[in-house]
Chains A and B, each alone.
Chain A
């Protein structure tokens, strides 16, 4: 009986220590995320930390590209008859795009490195924690004309700024719709030059991944897993990577952080 009481006391102590540690860790992470970046004087309106301060707009601040190879883990995404899996191919594509972007001196962050499957929110959170980033989610379709590429940007999304000045996480993309469209059109234009049959401008869509991303964000969908040979898709990787890298360079001068959450640039 005495032993049981001692065990309960020990458990309580451990629980208290655990809670205290978690609180300290949380505060430390929050402070680290709010610390000003050495290259950026104006905070970006990220979904979690944005304040509705009428600060000046900051041009030419784009330094980071967050690449999102979609799906992963048990979610293989689109599957072709020849065993082609979207989740595997987009990871390879992300590697190519990363190289091309790093050659243009961008910092590149991947939402997954291997065959894991972060949630939509976890993927968005990586971009939302950056101060000067764009977000590119990579997909392979299961329909469409093979050898073509389509770029999607989020459909019109009414912005909701809460009374405390924070942007709603659910509509974090809203203040960036204008920038996303500009970036999407640039990428789609470059892709149309390389892949005949692709549209000239970006299309709008209700893509879940884009909605919670507080940065200029696009979805790039390559057609398709229906190709007979995976090599047909692999051959497209270099062209897609080059188009994204060049478009990101071209987009850099027009990258201006919206000065108010909810304001369309």
Chain B
């Protein structure tokens, strides 16, 4: 390699280093800005997704029946009548009653679902199977145990049963996924019968004011 080539090579390398030195901080700034925009978008999407379905004051006010713990016996559920403007659309109506159930009763001791649990999505399939997708907090914040988990599931199923007649069974997902149990005990791989009286395979209709709460529900797979 002669002197002339060496000169051009060194000049080229020095030029590349200088260009990189100038461009790197600019690139870093751009990456930071892009990450910020992405974070904001994700948060925005999450908020939109988890935003409770607003009540429409134009909807007819009906006496909704919501099932929380009984103040006489905390091992059972009892219906509470709450007057709400509920949509006639079964999906919207289900979201409204489940969000009211999640919000909890006046006496916080009687709530069946964790305060930080969020209903992420809700669908009803043509065969009457409702799919309720909750945030992970439903599984992680609920007190672990057969009794507490069963009461949580039963409160949802019975509230839907009392307010949304087309639903036949309920499938619970956690963050879009099927999980084996709610918090180590109650089986979430199947569905829970909702309107047992209308479901052909169910041998026992669920009484509206039954004390034996869990006995009124039937798991199906």
Which residues in A have some Cβ–Cβ distance to B below 8 Å? Answer: 70-71, 75, 77-79, 86, 120, 139-145, 150, 152, 155-158, 170-171, 203-209, 211, 219, 221, 223-224
B204 proximity list for chain A (CB < 8 A): 156
B145 proximity list for chain A (CB < 8 A): 78, 139-144, 221, 224
B74 proximity list for chain A (CB < 8 A): 143-145
B185 proximity list for chain A (CB < 8 A): 139, 207-209
The minimal Cβ–Cβ distance linking B204 to chain A, given in whole angstroms, is 8
The minimal Cβ–Cβ distance linking A3 to chain B, given in whole angstroms, is 43
Contact, CB under 8 Å: A139 / B214 = no
Interface of B is mostly: loop
Given contacts A78-B145, A205-B150, are A71 and B184 in contact (CB under 8 A)? Answer: yes
- In the assembled complex, the Cα of A4 lies from the Cα of B185 at a distance in Å of 52
B173-208 near A? 1/0 per residue, CB < 8 Å: 000000011001111011010000000011110000
B148 proximity list for chain A (CB < 8 A): 141-143
- In the assembled complex, the Cα of A88 lies from the Cα of B74 at a distance in Å of 26
Given contacts A143-B74, A203-B214, A203-B215, are A208 and B143 in contact (CB under 8 A)? Answer: no
Which residues in B have some Cβ–Cβ distance to A below 8 Å? Answer: 74-75, 143-148, 150, 153, 180-181, 184-187, 189-190, 192, 201-204, 212, 214-215, 217-221
Given contacts A155-B217, A155-B219, A171-B221, are A77 and B184 in contact (CB under 8 A)? Answer: yes
- In the assembled complex, the Cα of A251 lies from the Cα of B190 at a distance in Å of 30
- In the assembled complex, the Cα of A205 lies from the Cα of B220 at a distance in Å of 12
Contact, CB under 8 Å: A143 / B212 = no
A79 proximity list for chain B (CB < 8 A): 144
- In the assembled complex, the Cα of A230 lies from the Cα of B11 at a distance in Å of 78
4 smallest CB-CB distances across A and B, nearest first, come from: A141-B145, A206-B219, A208-B187, A142-B143
The minimal Cβ–Cβ distance linking B140 to chain A, given in whole angstroms, is 13
Contact, CB under 8 Å: B221 / A204 = no
Residue from B181, B187, B189, B192 with most neighbouring chain A CB atoms (10 Å):
B187
- In the assembled complex, the Cα of A84 lies from the Cα of B192 at a distance in Å of 32
A155 proximity list for chain B (CB < 8 A): 214, 217-219
Given contacts A78-B145, A141-B145, A205-B186, are A157 and B180 in contact (CB under 8 A)? Answer: no
